[in-house]
Structure 1
Amino acid sequence: MPERFLSQAALAELAGIPAVSRWVTNRGQRIHVLDYGGDLPPAVFIAGITSPAVTLDFVVRRVRDQVRPIVVDLRGRGLSDDGVLHSLESHADDLNAVIGGLKLDRPLMVGHSMGAGIVAFLAAASADAARGSILVDPPLSGPRSGPYPTPLAVFETQLDEAYAGTTAQRVAEHWPRWPVAEQRLRALWLSSCGREAVAATHRSFESVEFAPIWQSLDARTSLIYGEESAVVSGEAVGRLALQNPSPAIVKVAGSGHMVFWDSPEGGLAALRDETARLLSAETSTMPKGTI
């Protein structure tokens, strides 16, 4: 069975996206991004474990009047190279390379799920990497915090279906709440995600603790989470607020972990609000920790 490929139908979807493909090379790995252009402040977006850059198109279109979106295909996904390392640190290094390679001046960073973990890692490690960070339902699992709620086998099953040629109808069985257009897009692009990249990333969910990263973040950070998320529970949010009261915390009512897909209007409204807040806020003088 072939692994990691893109059909002509998938590539044809790029023709309808108002963005330009660009590549940045980091340590020999070519990282692909979709650059939506414009003169507004840049914002770098990173999606989750099995979500190539193109799957965030419906999200970033809603903030193009606020920012210049740049959406990253993480290594092993979309049009980026496979890569060998898939640790949180390696992905954060790619993100930093994109910021430097495209000469982005202190962009806003926005990540969902795995992408949120990557954004948080870089924000905590580098005080000057960005003007602000929006973390959307990041993984809170880890050696002391328990396993990630979705087992690796679930992702592997969906990858097997994608490599064999899945359909929007089959995707809908896994993700019934999603808009039909996003179910169709996932059916076309999931096959671009590499099996080892997904497996290694899933391992990182359970080998890295989020709490030390979170405690190093400041008021230039927003956490957006789904009210019904199994990844970021209400109880966990309470602990995060006690551990570090500086970041803003925003709940999206009626949403699960896949915030923008589960509740597009509520999720996108929260994103717009937090984007506006961070863009308008004065640069914080709060000292930032390192990890």
Structure 2
Amino acid sequence: MSGGPLYGANVFANGIRQHYLRYGGKGPVVVLIPGITSPAITWGFVAERLAERYDVYVLDVRGRGLSSTGPDLDYGLDAMAADVVAFASVLKLDAPALLGHSMGARIAIRAAVAAPEAFSRLALIDPPVSGPGRRAYPSKLPWYVDSIRLALNGIDAEGMKAFCPTWTDEQLKLRAEWLHTCYEPAIVTAFEDFHKDDIFADLPKLKQPTMLMVAGRGGVIEAVDENEARSLYPALEITRVPNAGHMIPWDDFDGFFIALGDFLSR
């Protein structure tokens, strides 16, 4: 990463402390919601590029990073979506776009359904489409839990390479530094919700222009899922990054931005 955020800050919204990093400061507002074990700082390299055109707020989802955590919180999808709605409201963000990756994309969908006037558009980056009676999410829970437990005791970039072998040294160092902030029960709940909460049911309720970005090598979204999603929301715009796995910008940074295009400000 060549630069950094303008600042990091905390806001009390939906009854919890929500920590965020702000990049850019000019242009249309974008709220970036990371995935299941990605604190905000790990998306800095993407936010920096977005900040060339947008005013970007990257969230620490509850139970991750510097946001509220602990055994007394609800880590379900509805609670995380309510956080995003409250975040935008408390900061008086004027109909920002939501860009969510993986779990963050599911949060974006649920938030947009809950508050359709609050958000202008959605960029959904390879969201899990598993659910009751559906194909299982391809990643397995121990992959997350084992790495978090190692991080709690201290792990370096070399140790993290066993879990993320294709990442750069800088990306591995960031994950090794921050993964311990991912609260295991929050991760377990979110992972289980991938299989309990069917996000397809939300798609017909969307009102905003919406993009679905598919990782060509991710194994998360298949052609049958694309067809079903479009049947439920015919205006859905689908783009693909053929040579990327689920962590699209980690695998193909330029391909991610080519696929995103000008959607966020169109």
Q: Please, which of 14, 20, 26 is the counterpart of residue 39 of structure 1?
A: 26
Q: Please, which of 235, 239, 242 is the counterpart of residue 224 of structure 2?
A: 235
User: Over residues 30-51 of structure 1, what are the superposed CA-to-partner deviations in whole Å (9 max), with x where a residue is unaligned?
Assistant: 0101112523111000101000
1:37 to 1:62, Cα distance in 2 relative to 1, 3 A: closer
1:258 alignment counterpart? 247
2:227 & 2:210 partners in 1: Cα distance?
Answer: 16
Pair 1:168 & 2:157 matched: yes
1:33 & 1:100 partners in 2: Cα distance?
Answer: 14
User: Contact 2:215 / 2:244 at 8 angstroms: preserved in 1?
Assistant: yes
Please show how residues 128-167 of structure 1 align to structure 2 within 5 Å: 128-167=117-156
Q: Please, which of 29, 47, 66 is the counterpart of residue 53 of structure 2?
A: 66
2:89 & 2:83 partners in 1: Cα distance?
Answer: 10
2:263 alignment counterpart? 277
1:124 to 1:236, Cα distance in 2 relative to 1, 3 A: same
User: Contact 1:86 / 1:201 at 8 angstroms: preserved in 2?
Assistant: yes
Gaps of 5+ in 2: none
Q: Aligned AA for 1:279?
A: S
User: Over residues 161-211 of structure 1, what are the superposed CA-to-partner deviations in whole Å (9 max), with x where a residue is unaligned?
Assistant: 111211111222211222221111111110111111111111111110021
Pair 1:194 & 2:197 matched: no
Q: Please, which of 7, 13, 16 is the counterpart of residue 29 of structure 1?
A: 16
1:5 alignment counterpart? none
Pair 1:267 & 2:256 matched: yes
2:92 alignment counterpart? 103
Q: What is the TM-score of this pair, normalised by structure 1?
A: 0.86
User: Over residues 200-226 of structure 1, what are the superposed CA-to-partner deviations in whole Å (9 max), with x where a residue is unaligned?
Assistant: 111111110021112222461101110
- Give 1:278 shift: 4.0
Q: What is the TM-score of this pair, normalised by structure 2?
A: 0.93
User: Contact 2:143 / 2:163 at 8 angstroms: preserved in 1?
Assistant: no
Pair 1:244 & 2:230 matched: no
2:69 alignment counterpart? 82
User: Contact 1:119 / 1:133 at 8 angstroms: preserved in 2?
Assistant: yes
Aligned length: 263
1:289 alignment counterpart? none
2:155 & 2:222 partners in 1: Cα distance?
Answer: 31
User: Contact 1:159 / 1:190 at 8 angstroms: preserved in 2?
Assistant: yes
1:267 & 1:26 partners in 2: Cα distance?
Answer: 31
1:8 alignment counterpart? none
2:229 & 2:69 partners in 1: Cα distance?
Answer: 34
2:38 & 2:210 partners in 1: Cα distance?
Answer: 23
User: Over residues 133-159 of structure 1, what are the superposed CA-to-partner deviations in whole Å (9 max), with x where a residue is unaligned?
Assistant: 100000101112133222212211111
1:27 & 1:122 partners in 2: Cα distance?
Answer: 13
Where 2:205 maps in the other structure, the secondary structure is: coil
Q: Aligned AA for 1:211?
A: F
How many percent identity over aligned positions? 34
Q: Aligned AA for 1:249?
A: I
Gaps of 5+ in 1: 1-12, 281-291
2:171 & 2:122 partners in 1: Cα distance?
Answer: 25
User: Over residues 16-38 of structure 1, what are the superposed CA-to-partner deviations in whole Å (9 max), with x where a residue is unaligned?
Assistant: 62231121213431010111252
- Give 1:87 shift: 0.9
User: Contact 2:116 / 2:208 at 8 angstroms: preserved in 1?
Assistant: no
Task: Indicate the larger mover: 219-228 or 107-116.
Answer: 219-228
Q: CA RMSD in A?
A: 1.7
1:93 & 1:242 partners in 2: Cα distance?
Answer: 27
User: Contact 1:220 / 1:278 at 8 angstroms: preserved in 2?
Assistant: no
